[in-house]
Amino acid sequence: MGISYNGVRSELFGLAFRTGLLTVVTLGIYRFWQKTRIRKYIWSSVNAGGDTFEYTGTGLEKLLGFLVAVVFLAVYLGIIQIALFYFGLNIMVDPEEASQAQIIGQVAAIYISFFAVLPFLLFAVYRARRYKMARTRFRGIRCGMEKGAWGYVLRALGYMALQVVTLGVLTPLQTFRLEKYQADRSFYGSQRMVQTGKWTDLYRYMKHIFIGLGLLVLAAVSAVMELYVLAGVAGAVGYVWVIVGAVHYGVQSFGYLMRHKTLGEVGFTAEPATGQVIKTYILGGLLLGVLASVIFGMVGAVVAAFAPMLVEGELPIAFFALLGVAYIVALVMIQALSLVLITQPILAHYISTIRVTNPQALNRIAQREAETGVDAEGFADALDIGGAI
């Protein structure tokens, strides 16, 4: 059973643009409804065997979840940040006598507050996925995910520490185990999902990262040997190779992990193409850049036209207010464009390469209980993670 993505560029753009303006007008409050409506559109665009997915979340529960998270995070963040700042002050050194290293150290101490938030960022990542699962339905049957956010936080922190110690050599282990932790807690109706496969299999997708790193090492070695042309070429090629290699790893490890998920007797195939994803990034990015410069160019042209009056101070405040509005409208437009030029096509590509094997087994899957999570994905909203959708 094939899966297709049928979202239309102009419709999604219209929805994102209109809800974006509403968000600005309501000073950000409408953003919960904005995200919900965009998700409803995207979910409903995914068609598997003639049935579309359904997103049942509501903006209201997202707002309430956000308010719950705010109460907690306001207290935690406020106190942690002021305490860390105080700690930072206590290792302050005199800039007239301090070495560069000491100054860097104290700046780092002040910005270390990021690490105080890190556990909550990870917590929010799991909760957001769980919320999205709980609000996804297919053929009237709910998806779902078991509780386990703190277990995820501990594991994610552990693998991060391991990554630092081993300089990233164990990336596949981290990718695989964290995905398995989440997938194994996921359900479609009564049927539990299982992540099979081996983490060492993911190494083959790191090939291009290693080639890129090899080129960078070559560049460093030739620089030491004063072969500057070779160093420059190897450095530039290696740099691009590493970036492309990282995208390749992301795309192909997704494909591998998808192919090795099972829902009882139901299986999946997935063949996402790295080239297609990179092409979308480049073409979409270029088009976005061109459109953005056109939009801002128009705003700029208006300013330039009125510039002589500006110098003479004849322009009323209303002009500046209008200019501010034009600027914000332009920003909202660019956000909506990036959604339809980059996010949606990449999503569409991933989804359309997935096939469901043995779909008849789905018919026997039964409903699961409704889940009324009180904080929805409030932590993710409060901490600003989760991206466009």
Residue 198 contacts residue 213 (beta carbons within 8 Å): no
Residue among 2, 60, 147, 294 that touches other proteins (CB under 8 A)? 60
Binding residues among 309-328 for other proteins as defined by CB under 8 A: 328
Closest Cα partner for 376 from 187, 153, 182, 131? 131
90 scored as a contact of other proteins (CB under 8 A): yes
CA distances from residue 4 to 51, 152, 251 in whole angstroms, order as listed: 10, 31, 18
Stretch that binds other proteins, among 177-185, 221-229, 315-323, 381-389 (CB under 8 A): 381-389
CA distances from residue 193 to 16, 99, 146, 263 in whole angstroms, order as listed: 32, 55, 11, 5
351 scored as a contact of other proteins (CB under 8 A): no
- CB closer to other proteins out of 305 and 366: 366
CA pair distance 127, 142, nearest whole angstrom = 17
100 scored as a contact of other proteins (CB under 8 A): no
Residue among 3, 16, 17, 41 that touches other proteins (CB under 8 A)? 41
At a CB cut-off of 8 Å and minimum separation 6, what does 217 contact?
none
Residue 31 contacts residue 23 (beta carbons within 8 Å): yes
Stretch that binds other proteins, among 33-41, 157-165, 230-238, 298-306 (CB under 8 A): 33-41
Give the CA dihedral 276, 280, 282, 286, nearest 10 degrees.
150
Closest Cα partner for 339 from 2, 35, 23? 35
> Per-residue b/e over 42-71, b at no fewer than 16 CB within 10 Å?
bbebbbbeeeebbbebebebbbbbbebbee
Binding residues among 118-147 for other proteins as defined by CB under 8 A: 135, 138-142
Residue among 2, 51, 115, 160 that touches other proteins (CB under 8 A)? 51
Neighbours of 285 (CB within 10 A): 13
CA pair distance 232, 111, nearest whole angstrom = 34
377 scored as a contact of other proteins (CB under 8 A): no
Question: Least separation, in Å, of the C-beta of 284 and other proteins?
Answer: 19
52 scored as a contact of other proteins (CB under 8 A): yes
- CB closer to other proteins out of 61 and 179: 61
74 scored as a contact of other proteins (CB under 8 A): yes
366 scored as a contact of other proteins (CB under 8 A): yes
Size of the site for other proteins (CB under 8 A): 83
- CB closer to other proteins out of 95 and 164: 95
What is the phi/psi pair of residue 178, to 5°?
A: -70, -35
357 scored as a contact of other proteins (CB under 8 A): no
8 scored as a contact of other proteins (CB under 8 A): yes
Stretch that binds other proteins, among 9-17, 121-129, 248-256, 291-299 (CB under 8 A): 9-17
What is the phi/psi pair of residue 29, to 5°?
A: -65, -35
H/E stretch holding 262 reads strand 261-263
Question: Least separation, in Å, of the C-beta of 91 and other proteins?
Answer: 8
331 scored as a contact of other proteins (CB under 8 A): yes
Residue among 58, 163, 276, 353 that touches other proteins (CB under 8 A)? 58
293 scored as a contact of other proteins (CB under 8 A): no
- CB closer to other proteins out of 167 and 366: 366
226 scored as a contact of other proteins (CB under 8 A): no
Stretch that binds other proteins, among 179-187, 221-229, 269-277, 363-371 (CB under 8 A): 363-371
15 scored as a contact of other proteins (CB under 8 A): yes
Residue 152 contacts residue 122 (beta carbons within 8 Å): yes
Residue among 16, 17, 20, 153 that touches other proteins (CB under 8 A)? 20
- Distance, C-alpha 339 to centroid of its chain: 12
